[in-house]
Structure 1
Amino acid sequence: MMQLVFREKGALYAAYIPLFTDGGLFVPTPREYHLGEDIYLILTLPDDQQRYPIAGKVAWITPANASGGRTQGVGVRFPADEKSRLIRLRIEEILGTSISSSKPTQTI
């Protein structure tokens, strides 16, 4: 289990993965994971005291010493369920129009 706390909208923008159909997040971690591995997250969003549990799966891996100075970690795909859909909608509500920005992120 990993806790992810986003205190700022910019950090959430950098980690959010809108390309995944059900949403997802980049999780910086030195721990090695495998594609498809289950990963349990406790997510805290900016200006929101609620903690959101997510049982996702590793959908991509950024290894240590990746090109372009990318941070080591994993892309976690949210499951296709109603709870995750509501979390995805909440994230997209927080990000608003910045979700379509061309500003670089930690994701694909």
Structure 2
Amino acid sequence: MSEAKPAPQRPSVLSLNINSKSALYAAFMPHLRSGGIFIPTTRSYIIGDEVFMLLSLMDDPAKLPIAGTVVWITPAGAQNGRAQGIGVHFNNDESGQEARRKIEGLLGGVMQSARPTHTL
């Protein structure tokens, strides 16, 4: 007898609107090879889950469609009052690269700051 494998789940779809440079700095994960972003959420995820997000940055009316993988989880009740949510590593594709370029362009020199972020 062989066990039936569960059908792969479709990636979950998330939406994130970032309205300020300080919020973008706190959410961006530049230490990941393709870049990534922290998304506050109460949904349950596990490392390796695929997600799809629509990201709005500051005054830009365009939403960036980005696929990625969950690489970080901050559970409810985390130390130091950190927000519950997930860190998503952008896929190394055109949309992920465009998102990283846009975010780095908006942040400029602020990326060198020692201020804490949602993840590190």
Confirm or deny a common fold (TM above 0.5).
yes
* Aligned match of 1:65: 77
Report the alpha carbon displacement of residue 82 of structure 1 after superposing the two structures with TM. 2.2
CA RMSD between the two structures: 0.8
In structure 2, what is the Cα distance between the partners aligned to 1:69 and 1:7? 21
* Aligned match of 2:88: 76
* Aligned match of 1:36: 48
* Aligned match of 1:56: 68
In structure 2, what is the Cα distance between the partners aligned to 1:52 and 1:82? 11
Percent identity, aligned pairs only?
45
Report the alpha carbon displacement of residue 47 of structure 1 after superposing the two structures with TM. 1.9
Runs of 4+ that moved beyond 2 A: none
1:38-72 deviation per Cα after TM superposition (whole angstroms, max 9, x unaligned): 11100001121111001111001111111121111
Please give the residue correspondences for 1:1-108 in structure 2 after superposition, counting only pairs within 5 Å: 1-108=13-120
- Counterpart of 2:56, as a letter, is T
Contact 2:65–2:95 (8 Å) recurs in 1? no
In structure 1, runs of 5+ residues without a counterpart are none
In structure 2, runs of 5+ residues without a counterpart are 1-12
- Counterpart of 2:101, as a letter, is L
Contact 2:39–2:86 (8 Å) recurs in 1? yes
Contact 2:64–2:95 (8 Å) recurs in 1? no
Larger Rg: 2
Aligned residues: 108
